[in-house]
Amino acid sequence: MIRNIQPKRIVEVGCGMSSCIMLDTNERYFDDNIECTFIDRCMKIVHEKFRTKDIAQNTVLERNVQEVDLSVFTSLQDGDILFIDSSHYYAPGSDVYDIVHHILPVIHNGVHIHFHDVFYDLQYPVEWNNTEWNEQKTIFHILQSKPQYHVQFFTSYMAHNYPDIFRQTFPSLVHTAGGSLWLKKNML
């Protein structure tokens, strides 16, 4: 999706292996010209996997998303990406609550929004063994009640409803469809 969208900026909330893939994509296909901001209160992956140049060329904010100035998000423009790999827990005071009630309302139209670990059946994998996660139900409520958010691509939906096409198009995802939900915010 990053190669297809070709953003000028990406803000990622919650760092993990996706951060590393993002940096590799930026280097390989965009000559490191995408401006990336990484936000996470626990930057273990950054300290273990990021190279010195990755940290020097990008913005790394080691704090809770609730502590980040909203200007980081309002600076995203049409065609940029907000990539969310949060705690998956929605409750007052949580990162997901802040994203839903403070960040999504202020981002500009045309921003692409990615939610990680969202599944078609609204159930997290049993082996994850976490019954408190409720982010994806919150996301689906947003999609039902906020018409300015449009689904661009949903890997789990595609794998469930079009398995042959999905396997042909994404052979590396044969054993897992992932849980990528891509939205775009548009004017009403």
Place of tokens 């595609």: 158
* pLDDT exceeds cutoff 80 at 1: yes
Q: What is the pTM of this model?
A: 0.91
CA torsion, ordered 58, 63, 69, 75, to nearest 10 deg: 30
Class of domain 2-185 as given by CATH:
alpha beta
Token pair in block for residue 112 = 């692409």
What are the structure tokens assigned to 14, written together?
């919650």
Give tens-digit pLDDT for 60-111. Answer: 999 999 999 999 999 999 999 999 999 888 999 999 999 999 999 999 999 9
| Element housing 169 (H / E) | helix 163-169
DSSP H or E segment with residue 22:
helix 17-30
The helix/strand/coil state of 175 is coil
Among 57-66, 123-132, 139-148, 156-165, which is the least confidently predicted range?
123-132
The 10s digit of each residue's pLDDT in 17-67 is: 899 999 999 999 999 999 999 999 988 888 888 899 999 999 999 999 999
CA–CA separation, 90 and 98 (whole Å) = 9
Q: How many residues does the chain have?
A: 188
CB 178 within 8 A of CB 16: no
